[in-house]
Amino acid sequence: MIAEKQVVEEPACIPAQLNIAGIPVVPFETYDHALEGIEWAIESNRKSFCAAVNPIKMYNAWHDPELLKLLQQTDITICDGVGVSIASRIIHGRGIKRITGCDLFFKLIGLASAKGWGVFLLGASAESNAAARAELQRTYPNLRIVGWQDGYFKDSGEVIEKINASKADLLFVAMGSPKQEYWIARHRQAINARFCMGVGGSFDIAAGAIRRAPKIFRMTGTEFLFRFALEPRKRLSHQKILLYFLLRVIGRKLSGADESIGWA
């Protein structure tokens, strides 16, 4: 069962959320802006759950009430897709800066290193987890990786005990989406870490097992073109979902219908 979110007044450094397809998204203006808001949450000892959303995750949420509820209760939801930014422009007349979960993960690792926060890495294979730890430690010698666990475990209770015993401030979960978000949401009240975030394949990227798109693609929001060239069949299905997503948003806007929750 997903724990209920407590309503807490947002700090000035975290902008008011925008309702995009029934899901609240924080319109951070820059990565530094996002880091500022997250740092505030961590330093104030507020337990925060961060999730990245793209059109595919939103599409899935329209057809999965539990996932929709989860995303509506997430403390910090970031725009991890050009389609979400376009939808915001259609609905609200303003786009949202794309803050990718992977890039934010690496920037948070850098911030944790500078602030002395303890980090726990949960997920991926044992080999990938170990390689990611080694690379992150090499890049950030002062980084405090206080615990780790691969994603192949049976007893969540034992893992939570391990996380809490490590006294980690930040918990990064790499189990793939939405599995990682479900796991965090179901156990967030039992986890003592002040900040939890699902990071997908970020450990594999840190380990060098997955190649990221060249920087020019990432900076221009066209990473999907690079991925399409590598996996055309899989990415074609994703583009069909993106088209459906945008047509649905446009249809709602033209009809003047209320931007209500759960309009699948």
pLDDT in tens, 226-245: 565 666 666 667 778 888 89
pLDDT of residue 66: 97
Rounded Cα distance between 164 and 166, Å, is 5
Give the containing element (helix H, strand E) for 205.
helix 202-207
pLDDT of residue 230: 60
The whole-model pTM stands at 0.87
Judge if 124 and 49 occupy the same domain.
no
For the chain, how many structural domains are there in total? 2
pLDDT of residue 253: 84
Judge if 95 and 157 occupy the same domain.
no
Judge if 129 and 66 occupy the same domain.
no
Going by DSSP bridges, is the β-strand pair 23-25/18-20 parallel, antiparallel, or unpaired? Answer: antiparallel
Rounded Cα distance between 175 and 172, Å, is 10
Judge if 239 and 175 occupy the same domain.
no
Rounded Cα distance between 67 and 114, Å, is 34
Cα 17-22-24 angle, rounded to 5 deg = 20
pLDDT of residue 90: 93
| CATH number of domain containing 121 | 3.40.50.2300
In a domain, 5, yes or no: no
Q: In terms of Cα–Cα distance, which of 34, 123, 108 is closest to 75?
A: 34
Judge if 82 and 124 occupy the same domain.
no
In a domain, 104, yes or no: no
Region for residue 214 given its phi and psi (left: phi exceeds 0; alpha: psi -120 to 50; beta: otherwise) = beta
pLDDT of residue 28: 96
Q: Per 3-state DSSP, what percentage of the chain is helix, strand, and coil (rounded to 5)?
A: 50, 15, 35
DSSP state of 99: -
In a domain, 136, yes or no: yes
State which residues form the domain around 58: 10-99+234-264
Flag residues of the chain having pLDDT under 50. 7-8, 10-11, 258, 260-264
Cα 104-110-114 angle, rounded to 5 deg = 140
pLDDT of residue 193: 98
In a domain, 75, yes or no: yes
Rounded Cα distance between 93 and 259, Å, is 14
Judge if 191 and 250 occupy the same domain.
no
Judge if 184 and 252 occupy the same domain.
no
